[in-house]
Amino acid sequence: LEITLWRRRCAASGRCGGNSALRRDGVHAMTAMHVAAQCGHIESIRVLAAAAPELLKIIDADGHTPLDLALAAGHIACVDEL
C-alpha cells in the first residue's frame, strides 16, 4: 500500500514514473527509503525494506544512506529498524 501511494504521488507530480519512484528522486538522488528515513516514517521503511531490501544500502548524492539520514534527524525507532 505504501509503495502504491508513493507511486501515485510521484506520478501526479509529473517528476517520475513507474518503479523509478522507488529508486531515485531528483537532483539529490534520494530513494523512497531515504525520504522515509529522513521523515521518520517507520512503517514505510518496513514496507520498502520488504519489497526492495537493496534500498537500505543506496547512497544519495550527498553520500548518505537512509540510516545516516534517520540518525541525523533523531528518528531512533527508524535507526533501530534500519
Q: What contacts 13, CB < 8 A, 6 or more positions away?
A: none
- The answer to whether residue 34 scores a pLDDT higher than 60 is yes
- With a CB cutoff of 8 Å and minimum separation 6, the contacts of 41 are 35, 78
Average pLDDT of the segment spanning 14-28: 51
**pTM listed for this prediction:** 0.70
Query: By the 8 A CB rule, do 73 and 38 touch?
Result: yes
25 phi and psi angles, rounded to 5 deg: -135, 110
Whether 26 and 7 have beta carbons less than 8 Å apart is answered as no
Place of cell 509503495: 3
| pLDDT surpassing 50 at residue 19 | no
> Residue 61's pLDDT is what?
86
